[in-house]
Amino acid sequence: MTLTGTVAIVTGSGQGLGLAYARELAAQGASVVINDVSQETADAAVKQITDAGGTASAVVAPVGSTETAKALVDHAYETYGRLDSLVTNAGILRDRTLWKMTDEDFDAVINVHLRGTFTCVREAATRWREAGTQGHIVCIGSPTGQRGNFGQTNYAAAKSGIVGMVRTWALELKKAGITVNAVIPVAATAMTKTVPFFQKAVEADERGEAMPEFFRKELGFGTADDVAGTIAFLASDAANGITGQVVGVGGDRLQLWSHPEAVTTVYREGGWSYDDLASGFSDAVGELQSVGEKFPQLPDELAPEPRS
């Protein structure tokens, strides 16, 4: 199955991962609505797709508000006469440790990632339900939302919240035939370029060379294009039976993330008092859960070089 004749919206698709998603959707036959906050960036993305033989147009507006969500969905229907899939990718970073993060840092990230996902999905799903048509929603999460990451309180909250909404929407929209899934991408982006651990992989990608196998296989770390095929698949009718799932993809690796489940369950007659827990918590629950991403040791030849 291809996406020929379908229409897709991709938020935050002027560059980076979002542009890779939009290019792949267009290559599979979809007409794509590009979204960015910069007219110049959006126009360049549209030109890149149309020069390759695809169909695209743009809505320039910051994601977050109901007005932008409505403008995106209205544009799809007014320009192409339909909407079949929505990819909520738009996002920003305002990284700070907890004690340095301002209200503005927190609110800005929550507004774009979390509220922007909510408003766009609500608008698309409402239109589909009113028309009695099916649709596909793909929301973009992050390893940070799954595991946590130092300095990213706002981003972790938003990305974990997106996954929670996806699971809820999958239940609410199942009867309408609307699929809702989340994708956890692991790829070279503007953010990972600044992380020394990924230096050799990013440098290889920038030279147009294949990334070392260690990154692609052991870490599941690759290019934006490595993620794009999964986005197009979940946005197609080929994925009609898949909903409420969290799919990780990067490099040569594909993952299915579990829903949170209790790893240990113990009982005590009469319940658990403070004294019971103080004297026996560790014995009762066993090994505690790890926090954050755990990376394997880099081979010597892939170790980052000191930066001047």
| Mean pLDDT of the region 167-176 | 98
- pLDDT of amino acid 1: 52
Going by C-alpha positions, the residue among 66, 158, 63, 142 that lies closest to residue 109 is 158
Residue-wise pLDDT tens digits, 3-30: 999 999 999 999 999 999 999 999 999 9
Strand blocks (E) in the chain: 7-10, 31-36, 55-60, 85-88, 135-140, 178-185, 246-250, 253-257
pLDDT of residue 307: 60
Best CA proximity match to 147, nearest among 257, 249, 252, 226: 257
Per-residue model confidence (pLDDT) at position 308: 57
pLDDT for the residue 193: 76
Between vectors from CA 253 to CA 247 and to CA 255, what angle results, nearest 5°? 30
pLDDT for the residue 22? 98
What is the model's pLDDT at position 304?
A: 83
H-assigned helices in 152-246: 153-173, 199-206, 213, 224-234
Between CA 232 and CA 3 the distance in angstroms is: 8
**What would the mean pLDDT of 108-120 be, rounded to a whole number?**
98
| Alpha-carbon span 223 to 44, nearest angstrom | 20
* Spatial separation of the C-alpha atoms in residues 279 and 308, rounded to whole Å: 52
Two structure tokens written together for 52: 């390759």
More confident residue, 266 or 205: 266
- Residues taking part in catalysis: 155
Q: For 126-137, what is each residue's pLDDT tens digit?
A: 999 999 999 999
Mean pLDDT value of segment 31-38: 98
What is the share, in percent, of the chain residues with pLDDT greater than 70?
99
Phi-psi region of 197 (alpha: psi -120 to 50; beta: other; left: phi over 0): alpha
What is the pLDDT at residue 203? 87
Mean pLDDT, all residues of the chain: 95
- pLDDT tens, residue by residue, 37-65: 999 999 999 999 999 999 999 999 999 99
